Structure 1
């Protein structure tokens, strides 16, 4: 799969851009504020109908305009898909795939899976557990077809139990009913996540070994309850606390990942450069796993890596290793940097298309 062409109108500081992309690595360089990150965000918007900047999801429309629009042509083997996503100031989002109206953003994710890597990605290790759960859920969604429906049912059960805890404290029967349902659905989600994690771990180890010199790295998965007791027993033990707080303290919504280096928490003992190597290894491994699995499913293809500010907090060694990995694994990628040196360091190790970004405009400089 590859994103062959892109049309962007009124997205952040991009007025109107139409560009043909290379099938492998595309390099974008330009000064800060020139529109590089906006271009990546537009690609992400096309795949998800939202911005990767969580705090700015309602400000993707260019100032003074009423609507933004992103369209792209996606080549999937012999099939060409035309995907379009627009959003107006009232928050109305319209999605079309081959001129067919689409209601679910999950359909976009299936047709155009993307993985974003940038400064915001550091939250995967140093941010709250919700970011790590999102990481696991993204992987589970793409490898387990039933996960979307299981996830919806789980959140419905959780809402019902929390409402019972808040407004029906004296109705123990209703709380018990939703507790039983929540245990069953949480255990199903836990099993999907464990299955995914089992496939993810060896890919992570491989990628980390290819782009970093870090050793003795371990990722631990926590289900969201005391595993020596099980969720049903944990909920019984914590029932009084749940009633006082008015929400459920154990379950699928409390799962987490912990990354250890030399048996110590990475977020407490690693440098920023080491943390970036760990985070990027996790994200690259997630994308590689999806590609590997999709090779077995002829209805699906690869994915696109969106990489913002490659050189930031990476030395020349790590930058080159990431580039080599992208090229050798044959992924399509869009990679940004402030100048050509930050992308290539004077070397010429990757084939790719190079664009200069200036004042919200793209100019194709060369093929490397």
Structure 2
């Protein structure tokens, strides 16, 4: 799965971009503020219906325009899809796949699985559990078609329960919600646990590749005591939940934790080691998708590998080449790109980015 063509209109400073892309490596070279990251952001938006930098859509629309348009041609084996997305300042979204209306963002996401490696991505390790749940749920979304509906229904029931907490007088009134909520909670948590266990050896093997001096271990925590029935937990915590106004325990508190030599990674690893670990996690998950589903994963790398030492940069490039994935890498100068030890191939493409204008070198 790869993007063979990308059209961008009025997305940040990219007013009119039309690119034919390599199925392998695509290098974006330009000064800070030229539009390199905006191009990665546009690709991510096309696959997720949102930005990885801002939750406010108005910020990504060019300040002189009232909407942006993204279009991509997606290819896999002998299949091809056209995808298009428009967003207005009023918040209206128009999405088409092969010219058909009525599609959902989740349909786009299925078409374009992608991993983002950026300096801000360290929140996966030193941020809250929300980021690590999202990491697990990304994998499940692409591994199991039914997961998204279970996850969406779980979120809906949790929202309804939290609203009901302010209205009910006794637990009997809440019990019908909790019966359904408990079923979904166990289902989603079991799927997360199975996926986390399957991914664990891949993560540990990839971490050994990048950080051989450390023993990295992972563990999944479902959000409540492992051997307990969630419906009983909900009943016992009713008065507490009603007092605080939300459900305090459950799958919405799940975590996927990483330890180095037995200690939390955020407490013992240097910033450089954390960067490598984050790279390892993203690579391991992307490669696992490739082996399990025979689907390629796009990798968006924003000025990140330049902060790694030459040996680690070479290792990262080697693993990405071996995966056969489509990769987008930003750099400030050609010299910086050379120093990053990306060994070029004939199929690679290099683009110059200057004040929102992008040309093939």
TM norm structure 1: 0.93
Tell me by how many angstroms 1:153 deviates. Answer: 1.7
Matched, 1:358 2:346: no
Cα distance change on mapping 1:102 and 1:213 into 2, 3 Å: farther
Cα distance change on mapping 1:277 and 1:19 into 2, 3 Å: same
What is residue 92 of structure 2 aligned with on the other side? 92
For residues 254-278 of structure 1, give each alpha carbon's deviation from its aligned partner in whole angstroms, at most 9, with x where no partner exists. Answer: 1012111011111122111111111
Tell me by how many angstroms 1:55 deviates. Answer: 4.2
Matched, 1:252 2:246: no
Write the distance in 2 (CA, Å) between the matches of 1:265 and 1:57.
35
Write the distance in 2 (CA, Å) between the matches of 1:348 and 1:246.
52
Matched, 1:242 2:238: no
Tell me by how many angstroms 1:234 deviates. Answer: 2.9
Aligned-residue RMSD, C-alpha: 1.6
What is residue 146 of structure 1 aligned with on the other side? 146
For residues 227-279 of structure 1, give each alpha carbon's deviation from its aligned partner in whole angstroms, at most 9, with x where no partner exists. Answer: 24342343344232112112111111110121110111111221111111111
Write the distance in 2 (CA, Å) between the matches of 1:286 and 1:307.
15
Write the distance in 2 (CA, Å) between the matches of 1:244 and 1:325.
51
Q: For 1:93-242, list aligned pairs within 5 A.
A: 93-168=93-168, 170-242=169-241
Tell me by how many angstroms 1:343 deviates. Answer: 2.5
CA contact (8 A) 1:6 1:18 kept: yes
CA contact (8 A) 1:69 1:84 kept: yes
- The DSSP-based 3-state class of the residue aligned with 2:307 is coil
Tell me by how many angstroms 1:21 deviates. Answer: 0.8
What is residue 320 of structure 1 aligned with on the other side? 314
Cα distance change on mapping 1:166 and 1:361 into 2, 3 Å: same
- The DSSP-based 3-state class of the residue aligned with 1:51 is coil
- The DSSP-based 3-state class of the residue aligned with 1:362 is strand
Write the distance in 2 (CA, Å) between the matches of 1:214 and 1:97.
47
Q: For 1:265-276, list aligned pairs within 5 A.
A: 265-276=264-275
For residues 15-74 of structure 1, give each alpha carbon's deviation from its aligned partner in whole angstroms, at most 9, with x where no partner exists. Answer: 111111111111112110011000001111111121111344431111111111111111
CA contact (8 A) 2:34 2:354 kept: yes
What is residue 58 of structure 1 aligned with on the other side? 58
Write the distance in 1 (CA, Å) between the matches of 2:26 and 2:195.
30
Cα distance change on mapping 1:113 and 1:347 into 2, 3 Å: closer
- The DSSP-based 3-state class of the residue aligned with 1:102 is coil
> Which of 303, 308, 311 lines up with 2:302 in the alignment?
308
Write the distance in 1 (CA, Å) between the matches of 2:344 and 2:232.
55
Q: Which runs of 5+ in 1 are unaligned?
A: 296-300
Cα distance change on mapping 1:75 and 1:221 into 2, 3 Å: same
- The DSSP-based 3-state class of the residue aligned with 2:10 is strand
- The DSSP-based 3-state class of the residue aligned with 2:172 is helix
Cα distance change on mapping 1:58 and 1:207 into 2, 3 Å: farther
Matched, 1:15 2:11: no
Tell me by how many angstroms 1:127 deviates. Answer: 1.3
What is residue 279 of structure 2 aligned with on the other side? 280
Matched, 1:44 2:44: yes
- The DSSP-based 3-state class of the residue aligned with 2:217 is strand
Cα distance change on mapping 1:47 and 1:214 into 2, 3 Å: farther
Write the distance in 2 (CA, Å) between the matches of 1:157 and 1:67.
34
> Which of 333, 356, 365 lines up with 2:327 in the alignment?
333
Write the distance in 1 (CA, Å) between the matches of 2:57 and 2:120.
14
- The DSSP-based 3-state class of the residue aligned with 2:219 is strand
Write the distance in 2 (CA, Å) between the matches of 1:360 and 1:212.
37
CA contact (8 A) 1:310 1:342 kept: no
Give the count of matched residue pairs: 359
Larger CA deviation: 209-218 vs 27-36: 209-218
- The DSSP-based 3-state class of the residue aligned with 2:58 is coil
